[in-house]
Structure 1
Amino acid sequence: MKKILFYSLLSLIFIQEVNAQKKKPLYTFPFGVQAYTYRNSFPKDVAGTLDIIKSLGITELEGGGAKGVTLEEFKKMCDDRGISIPATGAGYEELRKPEEIVRKAKILGAKYVMCAWIPHKGDNFTIEDAKKAVEDFNYAGKVLKENGITFCYHDHGYEFRPYEDGTLMDYIIKNTNPEYVSFEMDVLWTIHGGGDPVALLKKYGSRWKLMHVKDLKKGVKGDFSGHTPSENDVVLGTGQADFPNIFKAAKKAGIKHYFIEDESNNEMVNVPKSIEYLKSLKE
């Protein structure tokens, strides 16, 4: 009887190992990173910072150059390391002159341009602010599309204030022209503002084109400020984000590019750990 139990246990272990090996990696997208992650390093050593990024196996960068080098020089430095720049950023004030945004994006080879902040007074983001943003996003997005570039607005948490039967984020998405305006989900800020990443990905599907992959520290209660201490940005998989289900929903929505972003001041330790977590995810 003992021998039967022993061999039965061995068989069970063997079957479990075989099944585990059959599971496919959940995160199969190219590793990308938001340049802001290395904001403390780029000003000191652009080439050295890009070398660090390359050493981590990262092949995509969301950014717009670096201090001390031209856009052309930055692009070449990235090319030399096998790093592409599919997306870059633009300040809200630049949206009224989108031709300049187009010029910069084309130098970098970026097909997406994201804006990450809508100006508003203090922490009080209002429907008037949202309506103004809709107008400016539609205007700039049209010019960008005519030049082969997709405009994306990056949510920052304050847009999840309740409005009518939804939120101000719902208002912005529903009132912008899908032909001209898409969106980049920042997982941390979505959660911080009270949004549900999975539900939003399912609800608006292909309106989402890009994603900032970042995690909010457990126990942190968010608000509508769009601000949180840097130490609340933690290694992926250790915070509040349900990444297995987020990635499944993101795949169905058709997200095009994923950028790891770490706003802590411990990025040299955090990013490698986050990449190991992403590699460990299985379907």
Structure 2
Amino acid sequence: MTHPLSVQLYSVRDLLPDDRDGVLRRIAEIGFGAVEPFQPTADPHGFRKVADDLGLTVSSVHAITLLDGDAEAEAVFEAAAVLGTDLVIVPAGIPEQEFTTAEGLARTAETLNALAGKAAAHGQRIGYHNHWWEFEPQVGGRHALEALAGLLAPEVFLEIDTYWAAVAGADVPQVLGRLGDRVRALHVKDGPVVKGEPHTAVGAGAMPVPAILAAAPADAWRIVELDTCATDVMDAVAASHSYLSALEAQA
């Protein structure tokens, strides 16, 4: 692993409004070296100062507003530059039905490729983050996301949400092997691999985490996320860090 472990801040979204700086401090104290914001245009200068003071880098940013027009996209690119990352990710917002046909995939690729051209003007790259609906459909005999990858410009990368891919029935290590260096980041998650059930700390669920990490590019960011959690979420974030750090030590 060539990057520090990161955590998607959506995991702690309920805690951030009341004490953003305290949450970031706790994440740094747990041992994470990076974070992935999901609202990058919200006080990027203030966020960067706190992160720098805590020794946290920004691995990447999620921004659904990338799809809301040129002005909104430009604001995201400018915020990402302030935050110090060149990886800007579309986390959702493309209609699910676009992943069910070849024509829909072509339109999706056109959208992402156009954004990539705009990002390049800022020295940044566009990525796409999946849920289950990009893996469940088969298009041309392949998972829709894999079919999409063949239509994307080389500079567009993928952030594979390993949990949602598994929920959709994908063999995640095999998928990662096929996608290769197209994958620049992973969401490392765990749980019962059932839609609608809460996630667990990484290492406490049914995901084959060691096999997944072994199949991923060594220089892809490893980013912990819990969409939901039945236990204290900060405890689960800390347990995830402990488990992944132990795996890294054994590698």
The CA distance in 1 between the partners of 2:69 and 2:218, in whole Å, is: 29
Query: How far did 1:150 drift?
Result: 1.5
Structure 1 gap ranges (5+): 1-26, 221-227
Structure 2 gap ranges (5+): none
Conserved? CA contact 2:31–2:241, under 8 Å: no
- TM-score computed with the length of structure 1 as normaliser: 0.79
Alignment partner of 1:216: what SS?
Answer: coil
Conserved? CA contact 1:157–1:189, under 8 Å: yes
The CA distance in 1 between the partners of 2:200 and 2:209, in whole Å, is: 13
Query: How far did 1:146 drift?
Result: 3.1
Aligned to 1:9: none
Aligned to 2:53: 80
Alpha-carbon displacement from aligned partner over 1:56-80 (angstroms, at most 9, x marks no partner): 011101115589x621111111111
Alignment partner of 1:113: what SS?
Answer: strand
Aligned to 1:8: none
The CA distance in 1 between the partners of 2:76 and 2:238, in whole Å, is: 32
Q: Which residue among 87, 90, 114 is the counterpart of 1:112?
A: 87
Alignment partner of 1:189: what SS?
Answer: helix
Conserved? CA contact 2:8–2:35, under 8 Å: yes
- TM-score computed with the length of structure 2 as normaliser: 0.88
Conserved? CA contact 2:87–2:127, under 8 Å: yes
Conserved? CA contact 2:32–2:241, under 8 Å: no
State percent identity of aligned pairs.
26
Aligned to 1:271: 237
Gap change, CA 1:274 and 1:280, over 3 Å in 2 = same
* Higher alpha-carbon Rg: 1
Alignment partner of 1:119: what SS?
Answer: coil
Q: Are residue 166 (structure 1) and residue 122 (structure 2) matched?
A: no
Aligned to 1:60: 34
Aligned to 1:5: none
Alignment partner of 1:215: what SS?
Answer: coil
Aligned to 2:5: 31
The CA distance in 1 between the partners of 2:215 and 2:22, in whole Å, is: 36
Aligned length: 243
Aligned to 1:197: 172
Q: Which residue among 113, 124, 132 is the counterpart of 1:149?
A: 124
RMSD of the TM alignment (CA)? 2.2
Matches within 5 A, 1:162-241: 162-178=138-154, 180-217=155-192, 220=194, 228-229=195-196, 231=198, 233-241=199-207
The CA distance in 2 between the partners of 1:175 and 1:66, in whole Å, is: 28
Q: Are residue 262 (structure 1) and residue 230 (structure 2) matched?
A: no
The CA distance in 1 between the partners of 2:61 and 2:39, in whole Å, is: 9
Runs of 4+ with >4 A deviation: 64-67
